[in-house]
Amino acid sequence: MKTLIILNPISGRGYAGKAVPDIEACLRAHGLDFALTRTARPWHAAELAEQAAKDGYDLVVSASGDGTANEVVNGLMRARAAGFDRTAFSILPVGTGNDMAYSLGVRGTLEETCEALAANRRKRVDIGWVRGGDYPEGRYFANGVGIGFDAAVGFAAVKIRWARGLLAYLIAVIQTVFFYYKAPQVRIELDAETIEQSSLMISIMNGIRLGGGFFTAPEGDPGDGRFDLCIAETASKARIFGLIPYFLKGTQQGQPEIKMRRSRQVTVTALNNPFPAHCDGETLCYEGTKLEIELIPAALEFVCAGG
């Protein structure tokens, strides 16, 4: 199985670059036929993944966090649109949040992940597509789109250089609660329903988790052909802090501010103030007014344990 490892050396606050010898040793120990290349600039991973698919690689693995993995997804989806659709995708999670890897089923050690790659256990996963903000032509994603509060938290977490994972996001939550957030009035158009409200947060999830440990869609399934949405109405600062434990456990459904929905297509329109948004942790916009989001069922093969 011809495999390309695309590694972002600055992922995980530089952890990925330091982990290269261990990654290479583990892959060799499991007999994988691989080449490893490092990214050098933004969007480089997308270019490398697209070319790998066109060159006939069986598997492209993102050794990174969510941002580089998102680029790899975009490269493979562009190759798919050009007719090169036989290349599978996987992740070695060495980034900060690793939410995409978790949501797609990569939850073990490096050893266990390399074993799964060697076993070539595959499953079909859905991929999302979002248009709007800084991407009028659209961008693909695998885990989720966040609009409002969670996007602002993600932007703040990127600036925290001394912490990784859930800790960085928890610190960013505190910063965001105190220094930012006026919930915009929005229209949310789903397959069979339209909601208008002042929304603190709208998470449109293909996966399960955002922010290194916030289970915004605890029943999410990236292979079920539907997005899972978590829509939170505006809330006071004290109430936002009160909701955090529910999101950490994935038990927010039933709280009065929370609506959980499923839909294959979603359009979110700002009715007064613009909103910030991200996809897979990557910035979509700081002041967006409309996003159109669509699910592409069973778009890519993904290699993981239990696939």
Which tens digits make up the pLDDT trace of 82-98? 999 999 999 998 877 78
> Do 180 and 142 reside in the same domain of the chain?
yes
Residue 257 vs residue 235, higher pLDDT? 257
Which tens digits make up the pLDDT trace of 167-195? 777 888 888 887 766 788 999 999 999 99
Which tens digits make up the pLDDT trace of 21-52? 999 999 999 999 999 999 999 999 999 999 99
pLDDT of residue 254: 96
Most confident of 9-23, 126-140, 175-189, 202-216: 126-140
Q: Are 281 and 103 in contact (CB under 8 A)?
A: no
Tell me the percentage of the chain whose pLDDT exceeds 70: 96
Quick one: three-class SS letters along 197-239? Answer: EEEEEEEEECCCCECCCECCCCCCCCCCCCEEEEEEECCCHHH
CA gyration radius for the chain?
A: 19
Choose the final residue of a domain: 96, 120, 144.
Answer: 120
pLDDT of residue 93: 86
Choose the final residue of a domain: 120, 148, 174.
Answer: 120
Strands 2-7, 33-38: pairing is parallel
Residues 6+ apart with CB under 8 A from 214: 150, 169, 247, 248
Residue 307 clears pLDDT 60, i.e. is over it:
no
Number of domains in the chain: 2
CA distances from 139 to 155, 236, 280, 289, 295 (A): 18, 33, 11, 16, 12
Give residue 63's domain range. Answer: 2-120
∠ at Cα 47 (288, 131), nearest 5°? 20
pTM of the model: 0.92
Choose the final residue of a domain: 62, 89, 120.
Answer: 120
> Do 136 and 40 reside in the same domain of the chain?
no
Residue 175 vs residue 288, higher pLDDT? 288
Look at residue 10 and tell me if it is in a domain: yes
Look at residue 214 and tell me if it is in a domain: yes
> Do 270 and 290 reside in the same domain of the chain?
yes
> Do 208 and 235 reside in the same domain of the chain?
yes
DSSP SS3 for 255? coil
Q: At what angle do helices 149-158 and 165-179 cross, to 10 degrees?
A: 120
Please name the helix (run of DSSP H) or strand (run of DSSP E) that holds residue 268, with its range, or none: strand 265-270
Which tens digits make up the pLDDT trace of 93-125? 887 778 999 999 998 888 888 998 999 989 999
